[in-house]
Copies of this chain bind each other. A is one copy, B any other.
């Protein structure tokens, strides 16, 4: 039997999805499982998107252009303009989810052995895409005590060497919900400029910012326009995770040309998803407002209740719909597994993502989990009751 590749071995298992078989078993035993593990909103897709889906009257579901339909890209220009992001349709490449945008960005920019610096905890799949490209993630740790603020910029600079090709950020941040301030973004900009690095900026949660602070996009940073690679996706914005429509945006023509070759190789992004995504840009303004207000309420509800549970602590996330929570357990991986495999409270249990999978540095995040507040308040309330009961039972068990 031939061997699998080194990268096939190195690829991390998804911290979000690796416990899914335990969750399936729990459901098979008749338990109600509250999914706090995955950013799958329970909110509806905009009616405009669903209507477009219903109204497709094509008889051939054919390839679309490798960079996506021009009509969609042109309409996106207007969407970005609302956020003062000034791009043309030719600077937007439609991808199969934000995931493919990250993968293609890494493949097009990074040689095997090249390094990118990423503040951790970070979206776990950046690591997976780096491994796919043979690149190395050098983490700079942010801490729950500092509310997951950008670590001192000197920590980034210390890691820069001749193999360093870029910095990757997620803003607002998944998994922490942190929003980088203008001052922090300017510190990053100076470093990018000083060492002529790429700035990969994943900004798929820009709709979900809950503080008075401004959204500072990497595209707002003057002087590093050619260095910025913006990663985007409609998944979260419109509750359309399944249509797999994202985008890679850049003003760097060489980079766009290289990315296009990867796009041509996989022929085209999903046709139907593009139709839905394009129509969703016309979503009723009430839709986005209602969605936003719903998350505002859930966030307050979740964080307030979490911090009332003895030994539990969560900083206040400023954006996205996640938070990283410290639990009074020694090993959150084991605790999350145990919740699914050995615990139930009144026929219910909870599925959380162990935070260790969001850190590259071994040993960090051992007593932290990521929670997504993508459930309605009633379910969130039940999930928190289950968590409280589970912590009591688990810690009794351990003693």
Residue A91 interfacial (CB < 8 Å):
no
CB-based contact A61/B13 at 8 Å: no
A270–chain B nearest beta-carbon distance, Å: 5
A257–chain B nearest beta-carbon distance, Å: 8
Residue A96 interfacial (CB < 8 Å):
yes
CB-based contact A197/B2 at 8 Å: yes
CB-based contact A62/B44 at 8 Å: no
Residue A6 interfacial (CB < 8 Å):
yes
- The stretch among A80-88, A103-111, A171-179, A305-313 that forms the contact with chain B is A103-111
Give the residue of B20, B45, B109 whose beta carbon is less than 8 angstroms from that of A8.
Answer: B109
What are 8 A-B contacts with C-beta separation under 8 Å?
A: A1-B196, A4-B109, A5-B133, A13-B261, A16-B264, A50-B61, A242-B272, A244-B269
**Total number of A residues with any Cβ neighbor in B under 8 Å:** 86
CB-based contact A267/B97 at 8 Å: yes
A153–chain B nearest beta-carbon distance, Å: 19
Known: A63-B242, A244-B269, A272-B242. A255 touches B4 (CB 8 A): yes
Report A's interface with B, CB cutoff 8 A: 1-2, 4-9, 11-14, 16-18, 20, 38, 40-45, 49-50, 53-54, 56, 58-66, 96-97, 99-100, 103, 107-112, 114, 125, 128-129, 132-134, 165-166, 196-198, 226-227, 239-244, 252, 254-255, 258-259, 261-262, 264-273, 276
Q: With the chains together, A229 CA to B279 CA distance in Å?
A: 38
**A133 / chain B contacts, CB cutoff of 8 Å:** 5
Q: With the chains together, A8 CA to B64 CA distance in Å?
A: 23
A322–chain B nearest beta-carbon distance, Å: 15
Nearest CB in chain B to that of A56: its residue: B53
Known: A112-B134, A262-B128, A273-B272. A1 touches B244 (CB 8 A): no
Q: With the chains together, A62 CA to B6 CA distance in Å?
A: 32
Nearest CB in chain B to that of A259: its residue: B8
Q: With the chains together, A111 CA to B6 CA distance in Å?
A: 6
Q: With the chains together, A56 CA to B52 CA distance in Å?
A: 12
A319–chain B nearest beta-carbon distance, Å: 21
Known: A107-B5, A258-B9. A14 touches B265 (CB 8 A): yes
CB-based contact B132/A134 at 8 Å: no
